[in-house]
Structure 1
Amino acid sequence: MPNRVDPSMSEPSPAAVLRRRAEAIAQVRMQIARYGLTYADLVAAGCFPSRKRTAQKIRYRSADGQTWDGEGDMPDWLQRAVNAGQSPEHFRVGA
């Protein structure tokens, strides 16, 4: 007897998955419209994970209190100091 796979037991095709997702999105949109829900309503109801972001540690500080965490582009105050010949390490916190 040949080993046949029952089509009802196989995984849905990618096209079927996309179609079902589109149908689900359409249903959600209808419910949102029906009840007049806003994004703020959904956030308040806990529908989305919170975006807790940890504060970056300050790595550089100027004499007048300007700070930089070392991420992204160098801030103007530090770039000007480096252009004037100062070492970035001079502004490093804890150095």
Structure 2
Amino acid sequence: MDERKRDSIVAYLRRRMAEFGIRPEDIATSLAADQARLRAVRFRDASGNTWDGNGAAPQWVVQAISAGQTLEHFAIDGAPNRHADKRTGADWHNDPFAGTRLATIRTEGIPAA
């Protein structure tokens, strides 16, 4: 961004802030509160819903757990792919669909890669 465009945007923002009575301290306080809230978040889903783990679980957590998902799946630990290098094997001995039509893989009609 060139300096002239930047100065124009800054002037516009200052004018709008004065129009609504917003002080730079108000923005700094709001940003600090948002950052503190985000640091407190312990669980997040793909839709962006969050939960700090305190109090009653929100509806999205209850639905996910009742659908068979684990709470650890939604845990935020600072690493986006915390299990990327760890491969876990599937236990097919307890597969509820083993031996049914749902377990059958059909390859006809599927183009080769």
TM-score bin (small chain): 0.3 to 0.5
Could you say which structure has the larger radius of gyration? 1
TM-score by length of 1: 0.41
TM-score by length of 2: 0.35
Indicate the structure whose relative CO is greater, using CA pairs within 8 Å and at least 6 residues apart. Answer: 1
